[in-house]
Amino acid sequence: MNDPQPANPNVWNHLRAGIAQHAPHIQPGPIDDAPTPNEPGHPDYHRARRAEWALARWHTATPPRYRHADATHPDVQAWADRVINDPTTAGNLLLIGTTGTGKTHQAFGALRRIAAAGPAPKTYEIRAITAADMYGLLRPKGSERGAEEELKRLCRVPLLVLDDLGAAKASEWVEDITGRLINNRYNAALPTLYTSNLPAQDPTGGPDLTKALGDRIVSRLSQDTTVIPMTGPDRRRLHAA
């Protein structure tokens, strides 16, 4: 079979002339060849692909218990939306409250909300770690990479969740490590989500973050951190009951 040949341009010219003579009111219609939301080239298509990628990253980084987490607290949602709009100006988020009030659930829900918005890949590298595990990782022989390399990785990851801040026994080493982490992320304008069972300050003289971390760290945190108290009964015990 012979290959198809392009049409003779004289044929098209003849057809155009005939239409112009016998139906002059007929004019060529507009051609809409713009991509639809389901096609490459449309912003919604590419946003959806970025969201798929980010949600897969979120799923991998999230413990199984929190893979159904949603950010339901309005202030947590507002912080996540600020990260979506501009991570460099979003600041940090500190969720404080007693055990079982849903702090960690809201934290992973916030990361999920950010992922679902379809962020750029470079802005959705995430790390979630408890404070106890972080200090263990950064102790001598705590990691094959070495403490300094692990600290650098925590300092530069675009999104970090540090769970249970202030739970470690206060020491000069703990204060130094925490201070370096917070200061480096503050200077790089990288958003961090902290949770803690302790209040920022306890006017009655009880345990608080200021005593656990030191005035210098709490002062730095206060500069760009939104504090959200999480209240209510222990949800884990309610669920068990």
10 Å CB burial of residue 134 (0-12, 13-18, 19+) is buried
10 Å CB burial of residue 144 (0-12, 13-18, 19+) is exposed
The first and second tokens of residue 78, run together, are: 């507002």
pTM to 2 decimals?
0.79
Q: Output the pLDDT for position 202.
A: 81
Residue type for 212, please?
A: A
Q: Determine the average pLDDT of the residues in 211-226.
A: 86
Q: How does pLDDT run across 38-97, given as a tens digit for each residue? A: 667 677 888 999 999 999 999 999 999 999 999 999 999 999 999 999 999 999 999 999
CA distance 171 to 104: 25
Name the residue among 113, 107, 115 with its Cα closest to residue 160. Answer: 107
CB-CB contact of 155 with 187 (8 Å): no
